[in-house]
A and B are shown apart, each in its own frame.
Chain A
Amino acid sequence: MFGLECAVYMGEEDIRRQALNVFRMKLLGARVVPVTTGSRTLKDAMNEALRDWVASVDHTYYLVGSVAGPHPYPMMVRDFQQIIGRETRRQILAQAGRLPDHVVACVGGGSNSMGIFYPFLGDAEVNLVGVEAGGHGVDTEQHAATMTKGRPGVLHGSMSYLLQDGDGQILPVHSISAGLDYPGVGPEHSYLKDSGRVQYHAVTDQEALDAFQVLCRTEGILPALESSHALAYVIKTAPGLNREKIIVVSLSGRGDKDVRTVAAELGVTL
């Protein structure tokens, strides 16, 4: 739009899973560069974008769609994303006349969750819950539950919880949703976990898939598979709460892009 060239690094696997988003980016004029190294997902795309940037730093602006990576990016992305939380806070005060009891959001790198949590951090009465990708289960090797199963390490220029082996090698991760398929997490989330301000839980691929369908049928909303993790947690835990409690769940993305994945999971040929 401004005549600037835009290269988007994306794992080959994610290009396949997010075909609709890739087509949209191309319509908008971006060059989408497939990354074929490593697990061919977000982590490898970040490696490749950083490699590009160290060579092109004189004329190229690097940006990342998550609160991960080297300082000041996690801070910048948080500051931009916090519009989500600010609007949420204003709207819930206008509609309910009080703050919510719970705010729930999915966490991969953690940008939508950081955005919605940040303006509530000072409100001690608001419980903040981050929901990670449990994949096939956190006791298998096929998940991306960084907070639940990781330990501190350094990747992409920041220290945070990481899924890694005993030698500090980053482990392959899995999630049904491309956006949560990351072995690290934004460093500020690690801080919020350690400080106890935010609780982190994992839900499985299957639970997310079920929640995806529940929202379609009950509200006519097609949520992203990422956001379906947050929904799944709410569906699991809300029945145990008093009816007066207010839960805000962050629907961070639309599920149009995930229809193919969901159809395949449900055994439907499109």
Chain B
Amino acid sequence: MSRRGLLENKLMEMQRRGEKALIPYICGGDPGLEETVRLVPALALAGADVVEIGIPFSDPVADGPVIQKAAARALAAGATTAKILGAVTEIRRHTDVPIVLMSYYNPIYSFGVEKFAEAAVDAGVDGVIVPDIPLEESGPLRQAAAASGLAVVPLVAPNSGPERLAAITAAGSGFIYCVSVKGVTGVRQEIDTDITKFISCVRSHTKLPLAVGFGISGPEQAAQMAGYCDAVVVGSALVEIISGKGKSPDLIPAVARRVREIKQALNGLGGFANAAI
């Protein structure tokens, strides 16, 4: 069954209902592929509306130390692009949650761009985020993705000017990933970007759902950010939990607990106090 458009439709539908989507990020294959297969359905049950899975890369220039280490762990444990696509196939037996893959361009280029788009869709992937491909070089990826029915989620940053925003958002599909800060991924105490201004500027260029990510650590910050956009991405804060738990039996409950807390904050059901389950 084709999943074409499912990701975008789900987020649009949530937008219409005034619900905020939560997009947790995990690094595929960290601590092992088996855990990735078990984590994704658990995250969906805990309230994830979309799950972002990173394909580990040896040189993750857009990532801070937490995700760099996760990628190194995943590679050391034997994760490859093909194995992560295999994990998604397995995940699809357990959950229907939309999945976007985050990959640097070289693993995709090495796999073969068209072959990757086809294999990703066959596995049940809904979209792809490629942080190191500029718009001007993204033609082959976007064409292959469009042919296969894979969304290409573009990133925009606070320093993307109006013309650039117009061009990037026009070429995007699925949703727009708004990078909340200038810098790399990683938990931050404060996000000092003028988010209202940034998001309203992006909004003026596109009707696609807007997700904010980079630096969002917990329920309060997520709820605060969600006030401006349609979805929040939480990555390093979860990856840090994964790093701490490793392969212990508590891994999946601990990550799910955090996702549930954040989702409840987004639902406006109360923050910290009554979210603990």
Residues of chain A having any CB pair with chain B under 8 Å: 37-38, 43-44, 47, 50-51, 54-58, 152-157, 162, 164, 166-170
Residues of A within 8 A of B60 (CB): 47
Docked CA distance A51–B185 (Å): 10
| Chain B contact surface mostly | loop
Query: In the bound complex, how far is the Cα of B133 from the Cα of A156, in angstroms?
Result: 10
For the complex, give the distance between the alpha carbons of A154 and B64 in Å: 20
Q: Is the CB of A168 within 8 A of B59?
A: no
**Residues B159 and A58 in contact, CB atoms below 8 Å apart:** yes
Q: How far is the CB of B192 from chain A (nearest CB, A)?
A: 12
Whether the pair B106, A168 counts as a contact (CB closer than 8 A) is: yes
Which of B75, B106, B182 interacts with A54 by CB under 8 Å? Answer: B182
Task: Tell whether B15 is near chain A: CB-to-CB under 8 Å.
Answer: no
Pair A55/B132 contact, Cβ less than 8 Å: no
Given A154-B132, A162-B106, A169-B75: A55 and B183 within 8 A (CB)? yes
Count how many chain B residues have C-beta atoms less than 8 Å from C-beta atoms of the other chain.
Answer: 28
What's the Cα separation between A56 and B80 when bound, in Å?
Answer: 33
Partner of A167, one of B62, B64, B107, B181: B107
Chain A's closest residue to B136 (CB) is: A71
Q: Does B110 contact A (CB under 8 A)?
A: yes
Q: How far is the CA of A50 from the CA of B60 in the complex (A)?
A: 11
Do A54 and B184 touch (CB < 8 A)? yes
Q: Can you offer 10 A-B residue contacts whose CB atoms are under 8 A?
A: A37-B68, A38-B58, A51-B184, A54-B183, A155-B59, A156-B61, A162-B106, A167-B107, A168-B106, A170-B59
Q: A37-B68, A43-B59, A168-B81 are in contact. Are A57 and B109 (CB under 8 A)?
A: no
**B180-191 Cβ-contact flags toward A at 8 Å (1 or 0):** 011110000000
Beyond A38-B58, A167-B80, is A55–B182 a contact (Cβ under 8 Å)? yes
B114-144 residues with Cβ-Cβ distance < 8 A to A are: 132-134
Please name all residues of chain A whose beta carbon is closer than 8 Å to the beta carbon of B64 when the two chains form the complex.
51
Please tell me if B111 contacts chain A, counting CB pairs below 8 Å: yes
Counted as pairs of residues, one from A and one from B, with CB atoms less than 8 Å apart, the total is 68
Q: How far is the CB of B17 from chain A (nearest CB, A)?
A: 35
Q: Is the CB of A167 within 8 A of B81?
A: yes
> CB-CB < 8 A to B181: which residues of A?
55
Instruction: Tell me, in angstroms, the Cα distance from A170 to B110 when the chains sit together.
Output: 11
- B128 shortest CB reach to chain A, Å: 15
The minimal Cβ–Cβ distance linking A46 to chain B, given in whole angstroms, is 8
Which of chain B's residues 24-81 have a Cβ closer than 8 Å to chain A? 57-62, 64, 68, 75, 80-81
A170 touches B58 (CB 8 A): yes
Residue in chain B with minimal CB distance to A156: B61
CA distance A166 to B105 in the complex (A): 14
Q: With A47-B61, A57-B159, A169-B75 as given contacts, are A153 and B182 in contact (CB-CB < 8 Å)?
A: no
* CA–CA, A168 and B55, complex, Å: 11
* Further contacts, 11 of them, CB under 8 A, given A51-B61, A51-B183, A157-B132: A47-B59, A51-B62, A55-B181, A55-B182, A153-B106, A154-B133, A164-B106, A164-B110, A167-B111, A169-B58, A170-B59
- Docked Cα-Cα span, A154 to B61, in Å, equals 12
